[in-house]
Amino acid sequence: MAFDLIAFDMDGTLLDGEKHVLPSTLEAIRAAAGAGKVVAIATGRSPSMMLPYRDLLPDVPYAICTSGAHLLDLRRDTLLAESAIDAAAIPQLLETHRGRDVMLEIFSGTEAYDPAGSFDHLDRYGLGEFHDMFVRVCHEVDDIEGWVLRHASSIAKYIVHPVVGEDALDVLEKIEERDIPVEAAFSQANSLELSPRGVSKGSALKDLCGLLGITPERCIAVGDSGNDLAMLRTARLGIAMGNASPDVLETADVTVADNNHGGCAEAIYDYLLK
């Protein structure tokens, strides 16, 4: 079957272990664009976290950010779609992890916000590899819970990062028991990502397809973690990276090499351009 579009997750997929894009990936993306194919990014990152890579990826015209809450036209520097969590859900979410040692990461508008002082303790929450990015593009705020309540109407993503070695399953159980209107997915090991109900990388992929006049049956999605599952199921062909989590490996139709060994280029040459 012929495909028209391929969507790549970023961390653990498009980016290697050093947060770089492999030369083989850039070459393959150029080849895809030259063949008239659409290459898109589909990331859990906020737009502010993704945009530093834009100049490196001139052949990527669209980006799904914030796990589907933002859809960007990178060439026109335009926000095509935006979603936010129901404001009434925010106080309920704060109660689900009350008393737990967690780090909150909040995406509001197109920016990312974290508790003041947290950049010095990222290793504690399994985020050490992102230190440079946090320092460069994220905002530290005093009294994160108070800040969240004051900005409840504009929160696009609410992330609970537990201490390394722990998980947030109890938080997820409380969310489900109370039927708080959010979508939940795990990424970065045990981090719990909460998005507006009905919003995911999969729903945003459908929206992008609608804008471009492409059906999901002519799309490929490539990812490695739990927040990629919805788009892997939405696309006609779901591809897991060799470093993917067990649930992604089980869900995907095929598996390619890991993010350090040319998996993205393999996905383009063997499936998009075949």
> Which pLDDT score, from 0 to 100, does residue 19 have?
94
Cβ count within 10 A of residue 164? 13
Low-confidence ranges of the chain (pLDDT < 50): none
The sign of the CA dihedral 134, 139, 141, 146 is negative
> Which pLDDT score, from 0 to 100, does residue 274 have?
87
Cα–Cα distance for residue pair 84/82, rounded to 1 Å: 7
The residue among 159, 151, 167, 174 whose CA lies nearest residue 92 is: 174
pLDDT digits 0-9 by tens, 172-208: 999 999 999 999 998 876 899 999 999 999 999 999 9
Strands 182-187 and 155-162: unpaired
Rounded to two decimals, the pTM is 0.94
Q: What domains appear along the chain, each with residue ranges and CATH number?
A: 5-83+199-272 (3.40.50.1000), 89-196 (3.30.1240.10)
Max CA pair span of the chain: 54
> Which pLDDT score, from 0 to 100, does residue 163 have?
95
The residue among 118, 113, 123, 226 whose CA lies nearest residue 169 is: 226
Token pair in block for residue 213: 């006049």
Residue pair 260/16 in contact by the 8 Å Cβ criterion: yes
> Which pLDDT score, from 0 to 100, does residue 265 have?
98
Cβ count within 10 A of residue 146? 10
